[in-house]
């Protein structure tokens, strides 16, 4: 029997060799409906699968007989040094995965010298996360009540967040059919899902009994009584999203946000140019990890043309489907300045909190460093499209 089938918790994390290994540890540690919240995609999950297929279709063309001693993963993001071209992506409800939740992710990112992006729908307040230190970015959803976004932006600026990541592709929710299979209605698991939770006593004790049901801490002041919890909020929050956000809203955001501004959800050259013309500082090429529009293009497929069009005007970040250092190298070679990690770091969090996230980052940066050497490069700046087919 392979080790990963015996692995559990911290010991399993320490012995994990790949993100896939950590995924297995995470799958066994949390109830099925919690794991599917992380894992699932929209509708037929064609986008979810295609993200990986598009990355796998690219092949390296290495240089040989080049000096690669003293390799470095260090890069610059918005004029500041980062020890690796990585950013931890914004994800909500992290407190359902592990009691350390957002704090574990933020501390791991700080330890590695990379930014962490906190979700509007986090289960830890942005002020509490700020105490963890490090480089912090704040993700923003715009809701019908615009005072919610104004409050988030004011508080994030006051707490020292460096950048705002405006998510533009989720205000019309995707159809995540795994949700309907696991829940009678939003926030109420079906009986089999609830019984499965009893098979995970460690999760029950650590996540629910010791800390209580996670709550949407950043926006709880704007929710009706009883709706701030993960159970109550999941029913009402989708109804609060503003479906009519448009490019004119960028000027409104700019009036309230003094720091760096990125738009997350860009997938075309035309939209990338609009972002630059609107005064944005960066973009995140993303299809929301396959959780929104099914049969959508993979970000890696459009990265090269977008980088050629606006790479000298915007910081380009890309996400969706990244599981290996080789995936990261491919994105950098095509013109990305950094890669955002979502599920990969959540597997680590679910497996063993901050230690699990650190293990994810250790593995990916180790793989990326090795790939650099094998490609004949000494730094991430040496990566270019000539190294890919």
For the annotated catalytic residues, the residue numbers are 288
With a CB cutoff of 8 Å and minimum separation 6, the contacts of 344 are 19, 22, 322, 323, 360, 364
**Region of residue 43 (left: phi > 0; alpha: psi -120 to 50; beta: else):** left
Pairing relationship of beta strands 75-77 and 188-189 according to DSSP bridges:
unpaired
Contact call for residues 46 and 295 (beta carbons, < 8 A): yes
3-state secondary structure (DSSP) of residue 27 = helix
Angle at 48 between CA 43 and CA 51, to 5 degrees: 150
Cα dihedral sign for 329, 326, 387, 299?
negative
Contact call for residues 111 and 105 (beta carbons, < 8 A): no
**Whole-angstrom distance, CA of residue 270 vs CA of residue 151:** 31
**Whole-angstrom distance, CA of residue 81 vs CA of residue 30:** 36
**Whole-angstrom distance, CA of residue 85 vs CA of residue 387:** 18
DSSP single-letter state for residue 265: E
Beta bridge partners of 88: 116, 341
**Whole-angstrom distance, CA of residue 340 vs CA of residue 355:** 19
DSSP single-letter state for residue 380: G
**Whole-angstrom distance, CA of residue 93 vs CA of residue 218:** 12
């Amino acid at each position: 029997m392979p080790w990963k089938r015996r692995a559990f918790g911290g010991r399993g994390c320490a012995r994990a060799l790949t993100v896939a290994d950590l995924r297995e540890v995470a799958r066994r540690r949390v109830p099925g409906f919690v794991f599917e919240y992380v894992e699932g995609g929209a509708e037929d999950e064609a986008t979810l699968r295609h993200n990986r297929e598009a990355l796998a279709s690219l092949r390296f063309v290495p240089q040989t007989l080049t000096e690669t001693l003293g390799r470095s993963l260090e890069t610059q993001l918005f004029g500041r040094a980062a020890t690796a071209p990585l950013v931890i992506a914004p994800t909500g409800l992290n407190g359902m995965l592990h009691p350390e939740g957002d704090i574990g992710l933020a501390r791991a990112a700080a330890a590695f010298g990379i930014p962490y992006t906190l979700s509007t729908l986090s289960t830890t307040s942005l002020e509490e996360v700020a105490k963890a230190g490090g480089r912090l970015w704040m993700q923003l959803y715009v809701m019908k009540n615009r005072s919610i976004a104004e409050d988030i932006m004011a508080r994030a600026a006051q707490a020292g967040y460096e950048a705002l990541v405006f998510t533009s592709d989720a205000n019309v929710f995707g159809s995540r059919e795994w949700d309907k299979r696991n829940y009678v209605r939003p926030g109420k698991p079906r009986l089999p899902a609830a019984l499965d939770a009893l098979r995970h006593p460690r999760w029950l004790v650590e996540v629910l009994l010791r800390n209580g049901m996670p709550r949407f801490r950043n926006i709880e002041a704007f929710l009706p009584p009883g709706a701030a919890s993960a159970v109550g909020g999941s029913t009402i929050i989708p109804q609060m999203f503003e479906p009519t956000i448009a490019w004119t809203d960028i000027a409104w955001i700019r009036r309230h946000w003094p720091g760096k501004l990125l738009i997350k959800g860009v997938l075309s050259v035309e939209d990338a140019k609009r972002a630059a013309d609107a005064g944005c500082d960066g973009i995140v090429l993303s299809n929301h990890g396959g959780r929104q529009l099914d049969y959508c293009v993979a970000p890696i497929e459009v990265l090269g043309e977008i980088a050629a069009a606006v790479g000298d005007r915007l910081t380009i970040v890309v996400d969706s489907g990244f599981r290996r250092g080789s995936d990261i190298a491919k994105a950098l070679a095509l013109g990305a300045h950094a890669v955002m990690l979502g599920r990969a770091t959540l597997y680590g969090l679910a497996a063993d909190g901050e230690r699990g996230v650190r293990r994810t980052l250790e593995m990916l940066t180790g793989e990326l460093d090795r790939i650099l050497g094998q490609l004949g490069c000494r730094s991430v700046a040496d990566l270019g499209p000539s190294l890919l087919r």
